Structure 1
Amino acid sequence: MTRLPARATALAGAVLLLAACTGTPEPAAAQRRDVGVQLFQWTWDAIAAECTDTLGPAGYAWVVTSPPQEHIVGEQWWTSYQPVSYRVESRLGTRDQYAAMVETCHDAGVDVWADAVVNHMTGQDQPGTGWAGSPYSHDDYPGIWTEADFHHCGLTPNDDIASYQDAAQVQTCELVNLADLATETERVRSTITAYLEDLLSLGVDGFRIDAAKHMPAEDVAAIVADLPEGTGIAQEVIRGSGEPITPEDYLGNGQVYEFAYGKELQGVLASSPGRALELGASASWVPSDQAVVFVDNHDTERNGSTLSYADGERYALANVLMLAGSYGTPVVYSGYAFSDRDAGPPQDSDGRVLDASCGEAQEDGDWVCQHRWPQVAGMVGWRNVVGDAPQVDLWSEGDAVAVGRGERGFVVVNLGDDELRAELATSLPDGDYCEVLEAQGCSRSTVRDGAISVTVPPMSAQAWHVDARP
């Protein structure tokens, strides 16, 4: 079963307890909160405010922060993925700000997961000084690592990975010149574990293990083995056709990001949208209870392997379908607009990232705030209500698709260029419902004799659930 964040489990229990105390009928299916959101390059102060103002009220269960450790200095986004030390001090905020953010998010009912960069250090050939003042060179980090703590694979002319068909290269050579830690050694493992334990002491609930594919699964297992029971683990293992290293190799350590989902969803929506809700049925993918799925993330929106905010309405509807489905644990992505794929987030003259501010514009550097879009935020609440109810009443015609989740909810997505008018069978109880994907107000729809009449404009979606009644 998918691991529910601790505060989400408590909130679901509180709902049922309140129902019992007030005499309100118990829901047909227990509510749950399982949707995560990656607030890419958001400062700790901005995440804290977002947890209180948006994430908690909208029903998000957990938030993934960008890497919190000290990194190289530079304007590009990838500086955060070139660590210099394990000090919790970065251009996104201080240790104290991170701890305060975690506490604030917990108060709002939102768990906090940290993006943990543990496979490598920097990719810089010249010595330098990190954000918090720590000196470093490519394979020497005073007080932490010496050259003996890194791999020098000797399998390629420059020690960089040349072939992903060679497991030894992938896991002992350097990924784009990033100094590759010898995670098979006890010294390296214990140092990384101590860093994760330090973040847990600040209240962190789980970790996205960055570049897990570039470490043997047994190395990851050894690093996380002594973490407290219940610590969330989601590993980045990109699935590649015919490659010897697969996401399934890592399932013993925790959940794994299923990259095939976002890639396949992009293709399905372009050709046969009716298949969108069948994704994940393949035995060649990670089992649903261990899969983390997403429409895009910070890498795929830049390399074009998935949809992104630049795809506008189609991207929003892809998120609707992900949240409507029953495969995997979904993570919504939220970043900033860019035209240069290396461009970092908005920064001040000292290089500190500015707090995110959500607006209408999407010029370079503007925060896109996809997690606030009405279609996305509305579907988070919808998913929480339907819980683990099964998919029913699946319907598709042309570029339109609809699905119900038990007797709890129903959603229609129109990816076509024409208005959709149809009468659809649904398992919702008869009565009046408010459509939940509009920005405000209550647009009424009626279920009569198990059917609902819908009028859905082009490139839009509508949804209803049993807790949204006039």
Structure 2
Amino acid sequence: MRRVTAAALALVLAAAALVLAAARPAAAGPPDDRPGVTLFQWTWTSIARECTDVLGPAGYGWVQTSPPQEHAVVGGQWWTSYQPVSYRIESKLGTRAEYAAMVSACRGAGVEVIADAVVNHMSGQTGGTGWAGTPFSTERYPGPAGGYGPQDFNDCRTNIASYQDRYQVQHCRLVGLQDLRTGSEYVRQEIADYLLDLVSLGVRGFRVDAAKHVPAADLEAILGTVRATPQGRDVYVVHEVIGAGGEPIQPSEYLGSGDSHEFSYARHLKGQVQSNQLASLRDLRTQPWLLPSDRAGVFVDNHDTERNGETLSYKNGTDYRLANVFMLAYPYGWPSVHSGYAFSDHDAGAPQSGSGEVLDAACGQGTFTCAHRWNETAHMVGFRNAVAGTDLTQWWDDGGSGIAFGRGDRGYVALNAGSSALTRTFATSLPAGAYCDVVSGQASGGACTGTTVTVDGSGR
């Protein structure tokens, strides 16, 4: 059998071989061009272990953590992580020391760390004590450099009523969360200091939560301060900008300070997979309504969209797995796999102890989905790494539910969203040899634990 490190093929869904991707462009892309994973509401100790045991060996380039700052204590809901009380690195997911140890362990495994940064607002609570013991009241949040007072919040004290009104979206309150005056030099410096504190722990980048609620110029100023320092010079940023047709604020506005997440990609992928119209995805990367490929953070789902039904999620079974295979095989954007936990209640948090600490993730038991370990994700991460730098070749489709395409002379993928088996001989750009389908198994010790596929001298 021909060794699979030179090329890879997937007949049913995909195939893979593990190699390192090429260096990223200086102006765009995450800290490692290889695919990333969001381990939503995983504890720092769990992420550290996963980096060493799974993420590094599978070829993931980076992991995104949930927000690490001190948050309000309201209940067990997941969204408490998005209600800051202070910028102390202490939360229900772990301590500052555990976060630092996690970053070190991940980087030791070849996996960089991106933190989910909540900088648009503080909590939506009228007062109380934060997770780490910080007392706060309405518009008063103590901090090491003075914290925030009423003057540090925007004048609009009401909730956003119209998303067609740019001022409201960027100066009023998002679902009651107290909106920071990010046009203030003082507030900008406080946020920059928080981000630099995380950088000092080894964090290489940030997902900016609710970025569209902060004027793009404000984020450029804040991140400019971060990047003006030696330690923050190369920090990567991807903005959460939920673009919607007809709204005045769009993801492209934020490319001056980082990449943006492409929600339109995930929405479109859901529609085409569920309607069995995979053939329409051929020219997806050339659509004018998408961001340029090298500026787009792409995903099948994230923690919000898996709850509101905007995209596919683990609850969609095979459709979800197929969509992840396509995302990781198709040459568009910077892909990230989402891995959280099963839920029936929109607000339900991850499993917790009686005192509120989130429990360490346990794959194969409990409620954590561990979707990043599935063959359709973990092995397809290897596929994407193996075909890095190649273009789309030998596209085939049946006009509807069946598609297949190559990535140069290194890999080939076929997907069938239909209800009947798809059997045919495909024309590929692969050299002759025997290849391992890594969705059904994996290459191990020169052999294939799954289906073996033969390519003849004509590439068929």
Mapped to 1, the partners of 2:381 and 2:458 lie a distance apart of 25
Cα deviation code 1:69-110 (max 9, x no counterpart)? 000112000000000000000000000000000000001000
Q: Secondary structure at the match of 2:360?
A: coil
**Contact 2:35/2:336 (8 A) holds in 1:** yes
Residue number among 332, 340, 357 corresponding to 1:327 in the alignment: 332
Cα deviation code 1:113-148 (max 9, x no counterpart)? 0000000000113x1100000011231113410011
Q: Secondary structure at the match of 1:422?
A: coil
Q: Size of the alignment, in residue pairs? A: 417
Match of 1:465 in 2: none
Match of 1:435 in 2: 437
Match of 1:106 in 2: 107
Instruction: State the one-letter code of the partner of 1:295.
Output: V
- Taking the TM superposition and a 5 Å limit, the aligned residue runs for 1:9-48 are 33-48=33-48
- Does 1:286 find its partner at 2:291? yes
Which structure's relative contact order is higher, taking Cα pairs within 8 Å and 6+ residues apart? Answer: 2
Shift of 1:268: 1.1
- Does 1:255 find its partner at 2:263? no
Q: Secondary structure at the match of 1:379?
A: helix
Cα deviation code 1:1-36 (max 9, x no counterpart)? xxxxxxxxx95579xxxxxxxxxxxxxxxxx84201
- Taking the TM superposition and a 5 Å limit, the aligned residue runs for 1:205-284 are 205-227=204-226, 228-271=232-275, 272-284=277-289
Shift of 1:399: 1.1
Shift of 1:226: 2.5
**Contact 2:274/2:319 (8 A) holds in 1:** no
Cα distance 1:177–1:251, how it changes in 2: closer, same or farther (>3 A)?
A: same
Mapped to 2, the partners of 1:217 and 1:287 lie a distance apart of 18
Match of 1:174 in 2: 173
- What TM-score do the two structures reach when normalised by structure 2? 0.88
- Taking the TM superposition and a 5 Å limit, the aligned residue runs for 1:301-340 are 301-340=306-345
Match of 2:397 in 1: 396
Mapped to 2, the partners of 1:51 and 1:348 lie a distance apart of 24
Shift of 1:290: 0.5
**Contact 1:39/1:63 (8 A) holds in 2:** yes
Match of 2:72 in 1: 72
Mapped to 2, the partners of 1:320 and 1:11 lie a distance apart of 19
Shift of 1:417: 1.0
Mapped to 2, the partners of 1:139 and 1:420 lie a distance apart of 60
Q: Which runs of no fewer than 5 residues in structure 2 stay unpaired?
A: 1-18, 24-31, 227-231, 443-448
Mapped to 2, the partners of 1:43 and 1:450 lie a distance apart of 50
- Does 1:445 find its partner at 2:437? no
Residue number among 416, 420, 423 corresponding to 1:421 in the alignment: 423
- Does 1:375 find its partner at 2:376? yes
Cα deviation code 1:311-335 (max 9, x no counterpart)? 0111011000001111100010000
**Contact 1:423/1:451 (8 A) holds in 2:** no
Mapped to 1, the partners of 2:142 and 2:391 lie a distance apart of 55
Cα deviation code 1:204-232 (max 9, x no counterpart)? 00000001100000000011003222211
Mapped to 1, the partners of 2:435 and 2:37 lie a distance apart of 28
Match of 1:197 in 2: 196
Mapped to 2, the partners of 1:189 and 1:450 lie a distance apart of 60
Q: Secondary structure at the match of 1:123?
A: coil
Q: Secondary structure at the match of 1:96?
A: helix
Match of 2:140 in 1: 140
Cα distance 1:135–1:450, how it changes in 2: closer, same or farther (>3 A)?
A: farther
**Contact 1:208/1:235 (8 A) holds in 2:** yes
Shift of 1:350: 0.6
**Contact 1:66/1:80 (8 A) holds in 2:** yes
Match of 1:117 in 2: 118
C-alpha RMSD of the superposition:
1.5
- What TM-score do the two structures reach when normalised by structure 1? 0.87
Shift of 1:414: 1.1
Q: Equivalent pairs: percent with the same residue?
A: 56
**Contact 2:410/2:430 (8 A) holds in 1:** yes
Mapped to 2, the partners of 1:240 and 1:163 lie a distance apart of 13
Mapped to 2, the partners of 1:34 and 1:75 lie a distance apart of 34
Match of 1:461 in 2: none
Match of 2:28 in 1: none
Mapped to 2, the partners of 1:12 and 1:254 lie a distance apart of 21
Mapped to 1, the partners of 2:64 and 2:441 lie a distance apart of 25
Match of 1:466 in 2: none
Match of 1:295 in 2: 300
Shift of 1:284: 2.2
Mapped to 2, the partners of 1:46 and 1:276 lie a distance apart of 36
**Contact 1:277/1:325 (8 A) holds in 2:** no
Instruction: State the one-letter code of the partner of 1:237.
Output: V
Mapped to 2, the partners of 1:13 and 1:321 lie a distance apart of 21
Mapped to 2, the partners of 1:124 and 1:65 lie a distance apart of 24
Instruction: State the one-letter code of the partner of 1:119.
Output: N
Cα distance 1:250–1:335, how it changes in 2: closer, same or farther (>3 A)?
A: same
Match of 2:160 in 1: 161
Mapped to 1, the partners of 2:40 and 2:80 lie a distance apart of 13
Question: Which is worse superposed, 432-441 or 328-337?
Answer: 432-441
Instruction: State the one-letter code of the partner of 2:84.
Output: P
Q: Secondary structure at the match of 2:218?
A: helix
Q: Secondary structure at the match of 2:425?
A: strand
Cα deviation code 1:369-402 (max 9, x no counterpart)? 1100111111100000000200011111131111
Cα distance 1:163–1:130, how it changes in 2: closer, same or farther (>3 A)?
A: same
Shift of 1:420: 1.0
Q: Secondary structure at the match of 1:423?
A: coil
Mapped to 1, the partners of 2:125 and 2:283 lie a distance apart of 44
- Does 1:151 find its partner at 2:154? yes
Mapped to 2, the partners of 1:134 and 1:42 lie a distance apart of 23
Mapped to 2, the partners of 1:277 and 1:43 lie a distance apart of 39
Match of 1:49 in 2: 49
Shift of 1:432: 1.1
